[in-house]
Structure 1
Amino acid sequence: MATNNQTSQENIFSLFKKAVLGKEQDFTTGSIKKAIFMLSIPMILEMLMESIFALVDIIFVSRVSVNAVATVGLTESVLTLVYALAIGLSMAATAVVARRTGEKDSKGANEAAVQIIFLGIGVSILISVVGILFPKEILQLMGGEPNLIEEGFGYTQVLLGGNVTVMLLFLINAIFRGAGNASIAMWTLILSNGLNLILDPIFIFGLGPVPAYGVEGAAIATTTGRGVAVIAQLLVLFFGVGKIKITVKDLVLKAGVMFNLLKVSLGGIGQFLIGTSSWVFLMRIMSEFGSEILAGYTIAIRIIMFTMMPTWGMSNAAATLVGQNLGAQQPDRAEKSVWVTSKYCAYFMGFVSVIYMVFAPIFLGWFSTNPEVVNYGALCLQIITAGYVAYAYGMVIIQSFNGSGDTKTPTYINLVCFWLFQLPLAYLLAVNLNWGPTGVFIAITLAEVLIAVVGIWLFRKGKWKTIKV
């Protein structure tokens, strides 16, 4: 028995090593469980890297001033537009590249990669012009006070002016994921995060000949770290070992391919905007109940988002598997990949749910000593995570639609479940029926359960298998 366990552990370690190093790239044959593992590991690590990025910035910036932290918050709100465009385009990139990869059409995959990069650069140039010329006006529009604007406009100018690094980092990593090269996407974010961690204190507080730029230094460090990572991505695309290999002759505008990518991306952009706007309205409802309750809710949501990273990684793996297997004319294998991934996600989320049910007050106590903050934050954590198993299925199903190129269906699901169900129910329960914050928490949980139910129902109909991209 000990020998069998040891062999099993060695096999898991060997697979983990292969996943991180990107040793396996064909996911249209062989074990589906192995394919999920090989894709999920680097994608989960990639998601964790993305969350650490924001955490590092806020840790250093918080030592500058209150205005500096507020500047970061206001600028990040504006950057939501950039993220929406980048995420929508990245969904299209993953779907199309995965489909061409499954079809063994390397030329088509290369064409899609080039056109998505052109699109990203074009969109980011427009945003850069606005960010460079009008940083003070942007902060003023967001409600920034005069002293905040004077201290922080440089941060906004650098971050929005250099938004091409955000855009390309998202898009090229989506290309890698679609091709099955998830480990390359992971390593570029590790490089970006590592540089950001080193450069943040240097540019914010100064070191040797480098002056102290204050909050603007955080933007310089972030943009530099992302910029170096983008250069590394481009080097891999042109000279690396991945499935996508671009040459100079590929750098030609192809209107048909670009239009197809734009068409697929619109649904992804819509999904993100619907989701983020619904959270803004929920935050507005929560603000009616006082700053302590709002603080508890904010902390609980941050904890929830962090523990969702593994499920996000597995959901992205499912999207790649769907795209590649549809391209390989194996719709049944694509569907089976989704159900197996959903099952693993449900196991993980169910385990986490039990942990939160028992230890929620302890987790909140790590972030605040205020009894009301801890009580309502713990209540939020317990109610919302009660639906974690449903979330697992919902997240995988939604990403699987996107992976097939059907970005419209998830957009309609989000529109109905968030805007037409969640928001009215949250207001009804919390305000009209005087349930207070508990009403908001229940509405969030029920909406996510509804997404899972509707998503599974539509997924079983199988229309996604017929989508052409």
Structure 2
Amino acid sequence: MLRVAWPLVLIQLLQVMYNVADTFWLGRLSADAVGALSLAFPIVFLFISVGAGFTAAGAILVAQHTGAGGDRQAGRVAGTTLGFVMLVSLVIAAVGYVAVEPMLALLPADVATARDIVPLAAEYMRVFFLATPFLFGFYVFVSLMRGYGDTRGPLRVMVISVALNVVLDPILIFGFGPINGSGIEGAAWATLVSRAVATVVGWYVIFGTSAGPDVRPPDLVPDLDIVRDVVTLGVPSALEQSGVSLAFVVLTGMVASFPPAIVAAYGLGNRLISLVFLPALGLSQATNTVVGQNLGAERADRAWRAVRAALTVVVAVMIPVSLFAAAFPEAIVTVFLPPDAPDAGQTIEYATVYLRTAAVMFAFTGVFEVGRGAFRGAGRTKTALVFSLIALWGVRVPATYVLVFEQGWGTTGIWWAVVFGDVVGAVVVLAWLLRGTWTSAVVETGEPSHADD
């Protein structure tokens, strides 16, 4: 499991580096630019989450067919998932591009936030939606390779893409030589180019090498039976991720009613917390793969061992990280938003308090992520959906409203509602894991290897 997990942790680190690089350079542009990212990202993620659920379904089916020995069927599943997700991505790109202004207009923004931050968010989002097909092209490549058990190939491709993004960000944001800087829009263009390169290289790996599942060009033509399986498993995953992202849109709407410094601090804090969660996300995805393959091979005992090992490791890793973040929050924040940046003073102060408060939940978040990874690997995507909705819609969203607007806690209510959601989520996920009702496969097992060749 750890052999599968460590490249996934690095992939997640590199994935976050796209956002961190944007935050790092835009923090040197202005605090308003950082605030614009905090408004734009939840809305963009709402659209992305629809297709991401289907990539997750493809990974589950590839993992279980691989474990059961159905290599050729795993290739067919991968091909159908690839073709289907790309069609979905084109629709999402078109709808998202034309809906940028109407979506931002729905946010109950503070007057200064509406004047200084919302227009910047619109600039970023329009270009980002153009990049959506390339974003999905790479996501589905990583998911299918992960389901097959190959995580090192996607890691190599990710290194190329992130390196390109890190180089392009300052050039396109501030300008260099004959290239004029485009500000926040330049960060989005850097993402588009780097994602396009990653997609091209990733598809070459699938179709031009022997790595990963045995996908052949005819497999891209949708097989209706496979599409049905992908949709059956993918819709709950899509609903889970859409529910998560919609909750973040609602939360962002509440935060947008505050002045720009608080909006920027909320976005910066979330970016930093996403860095902290990398080990948990990597272990969650590794658990997904190992559970899926072992249940496909009818080894429920080994799937259980993987889950217990992942829970132990994630808690052991997250506790020291939590202590470090609680001890040095301001030093961490100022790496990404220098004190001499325009309007940075209050933003740094609020983000420091947010990070110190959030450190309380890090180990709980690790348990929550690993548990949901186990449910997805077993094909229990509806179970993962329910627990995500409990943590966000059952706890975090109402807690934010009550603490901030009813109890008058102000920004303190925003930070503590984040903690309450993940703590409750971890407790209910762990209780359900211990019931042990998830340990069976969703595909027919005992398939002969290469039976269809």
TM-score (norm 2): 0.83
SS in structure 2 opposite 1:387? helix
Partner of 1:346: 315
Partner of 1:433: 407
Partner of 1:413: 387
Partner of 1:187: 156
SS in structure 2 opposite 1:463? coil
C-alpha displacement of 1:308: 0.9
Q: Which moved more, 1:260-269 or 1:122-131?
A: 122-131
Cα separation, partners in 2 of 1:428 and 1:130, compared to 1, 3 Å: closer
C-alpha displacement of 1:240: 1.9
C-alpha displacement of 1:409: 0.7
* CA deviations over 1:227-247 (Å, ceiling 9, x no partner): 222121112112323231222
C-alpha displacement of 1:287: 5.0
**Would you say 1:393 and 2:367 are equivalent positions?**
yes
Summarize the alignment of residues 135-150 of structure 1 with structure 2, pairs less than 5 Å apart. Answer: 138-139=100-101, 141-143=103-105
What's the C-alpha RMSD, in Å, of the aligned pairs? Answer: 3.3
**Identity over aligned residues, as a percent?**
25
Which 5+ residue runs of structure 2 have no aligned equivalent?
A: 106-112, 444-453
**Would you say 1:40 and 2:8 are equivalent positions?**
no
* Cα distance in 2, alignment partners of residues 456 and 376 from structure 1: 32
Query: Is the Cα contact below 8 Å between 2:38 and 2:266 reproduced in 1?
Result: no
Partner of 2:108: none
C-alpha displacement of 1:218: 4.4
Alignment size in residue pairs: 430
Query: Is the Cα contact below 8 Å between 1:338 and 1:400 reproduced in 2?
Result: yes
Cα separation, partners in 2 of 1:423 and 1:124, compared to 1, 3 Å: closer
Cα separation, partners in 2 of 1:380 and 1:228, compared to 1, 3 Å: closer
Query: Is the Cα contact below 8 Å between 2:243 and 2:389 reproduced in 1?
Result: yes
**Would you say 1:445 and 2:419 are equivalent positions?**
yes
* CA deviations over 1:384-407 (Å, ceiling 9, x no partner): 221222222111001111121111
What is the one-letter code of the residue matched to 1:422?
R
Cα separation, partners in 2 of 1:353 and 1:177, compared to 1, 3 Å: same
* Cα distance in 2, alignment partners of residues 425 and 385 from structure 1: 18
Query: Is the Cα contact below 8 Å between 1:404 and 1:465 reproduced in 2?
Result: yes
What is the one-letter code of the residue matched to 1:54?
N
* Cα distance in 2, alignment partners of residues 71 and 296 from structure 1: 11
What is the one-letter code of the residue matched to 2:58?
A
Cα separation, partners in 2 of 1:438 and 1:160, compared to 1, 3 Å: closer
C-alpha displacement of 1:152: 9.2
Larger C-alpha radius of gyration, 1 or 2?
A: 1
* Cα distance in 2, alignment partners of residues 149 and 362 from structure 1: 28
C-alpha displacement of 1:445: 1.8
* Cα distance in 1, alignment partners of residues 330 and 119 from structure 2: 40
C-alpha displacement of 1:50: 0.9
1:465 to 430, 439, 452: 439
TM-score (norm 1): 0.81
* CA deviations over 1:267-301 (Å, ceiling 9, x no partner): 11122222223233334444566554554444333
* Cα distance in 2, alignment partners of residues 203 and 244 from structure 1: 37
Summarize the alignment of residues 155-304 of structure 1 with structure 2, pairs less than 5 Å apart. Answer: 158-200=127-169, 212=180, 214=182, 218-286=187-255, 290-304=259-273
**Would you say 1:53 and 2:18 are equivalent positions?**
yes
C-alpha displacement of 1:458: 1.5
